[in-house]
Amino acid sequence: MEIDYGPLAGLIGTWKGDKGLDVAPEPDGVEKTPYYEVIVFEAAGDVENYVVQRLAIVRYHQTVMRKSNGEVFHDQLGYWLWDPASKTVMQTLTIPRGVCVTAGGKATGTAPGPVVLEVRAALGDRDWPVAQSPFMRDHASTVAFEHKLTVDGDRLAYAETTTLEIYGNPRFAHTDANELVRS
Ligand code: HEM
């Protein structure tokens, strides 16, 4: 049976963008880094949970490079998941710092034209939590994550805010945004 990826269908493909801007914490303040990136989204079939829940899955790998030197400075692996029964969109992601996020939310619009995916998570949230290593909890804690992604045909744009408790700031807004084109 053909898998219905619902609002995730438009993600599938390889996307490139060079309009990225990262705002990240440094001990002495804020670092702003222009970046380019590649995100590969792949159709990954479906799964059945507890007999009754059936999720369509899109797997992704995001590789982000500094414009200044071409160095990879962010690598992210994850899944977008669609639950047609509850009309819930999920993004589960991991970054190589000892941090994982299970974010949930909704989709608006229908393909091919603008489809907006909006998910969020927060530390300690019963529904959509953040998990992190003890070191990160104690020194660079991810307290919240919000992500809005818009797919419109062969154009994709996203903006995300990762709220960090770090360097004495209880709510540092670590932000990332970019515009990509399907290649
Ligand atoms: C395009 C996406 C992202 C980019 C380019 C990026 C880049 C950065 C950079 C440059 C730093 C400063 C420290 C360093 O130079 O390594 C940083 C810190 C951090 N980022 Fe990200 N980040 C991204 C997304 C995320 C996401 C999605 C999360 C978690 C959900 C996250 C969690 C963190 C944490 C916890 C730190 C603090 C680590 C530390 O400096 O001690 N980041 N990030």
- Ligand 1, atom 29: closest residue by C-alpha: 162
Say if ligand 1 is within 6 A of residue 171 CB. Answer: no
Say if ligand 1 is within 6 A of residue 162 CB. Answer: yes
Say if ligand 1 is within 6 A of residue 91 CB. Answer: no
Would 95 be classed as within a structural domain?
yes
Say if ligand 1 is within 6 A of residue 174 CB. Answer: yes
Distance CA 177, CA 41 (A): 18
Say if ligand 1 is within 6 A of residue 36 CB. Answer: no
Say if ligand 1 is within 6 A of residue 144 CB. Answer: no
Parent domain of 78: 6-178
- Note the pLDDT of residue 39: 99
Would 122 be classed as within a structural domain?
yes
Please tell me whether residue 97 adopts helix, strand or coil conformation: coil
Contacts of 122 (CB under 8 A, 6+ apart): 128, 129, 130, 143, 144, 145
CA 15 to chain centre: 14
Does the pTM of the predicted model rise above 0.95? Answer: yes
- Note the pLDDT of residue 111: 75
Would 33 be classed as within a structural domain?
yes
Would 40 be classed as within a structural domain?
yes
Contacts of 31 (CB under 8 A, 6+ apart): 22, 23, 24, 25
Q: Ligand 1 centroid vs 40 CA: distance in angstroms?
A: 20
Report CA-CA distances (Å) from 95 to 13, 44, 69, 78, 88.
21, 20, 21, 9, 23
Distance CA 119, CA 63 (A): 20
Total domains in the chain come to 1
Say if ligand 1 is within 6 A of residue 21 CB. Answer: no
Distance CA 178, CA 160 (A): 9
Q: How many alpha carbons lie under 13 Å from residue 160 in its C-beta half-sphere? A: 23
Say if ligand 1 is within 6 A of residue 24 CB. Answer: yes
Which ligand 1 atom sits nearest the alpha carbon of residue 20? 1
- Note the pLDDT of residue 41: 98
Would 143 be classed as within a structural domain?
yes
Would 67 be classed as within a structural domain?
yes
- Note the pLDDT of residue 118: 98
- Note the pLDDT of residue 110: 85
Q: How does pLDDT run along the chain (183 residues), one tens digit per residue?
A: 789 999 999 999 999 999 999 999 999 999 999 999 999 999 999 999 999 999 999 999 999 999 999 999 999 999 999 999 999 999 999 999 999 999 999 999 987 779 999 999 999 999 999 999 999 999 999 999 999 999 999 999 999 999 999 999 999 999 999 999 999
CATH value at residue 17: 2.40.128.20
Contacts of 48 (CB under 8 A, 6+ apart): 54
- Ligand 1, atom 10: closest residue by C-alpha: 24
- Note the pLDDT of residue 42: 98
- Note the pLDDT of residue 112: 74
Would 63 be classed as within a structural domain?
yes
Q: Ligand 1 centroid vs 175 CA: distance in angstroms?
A: 9
Would 183 be classed as within a structural domain?
no
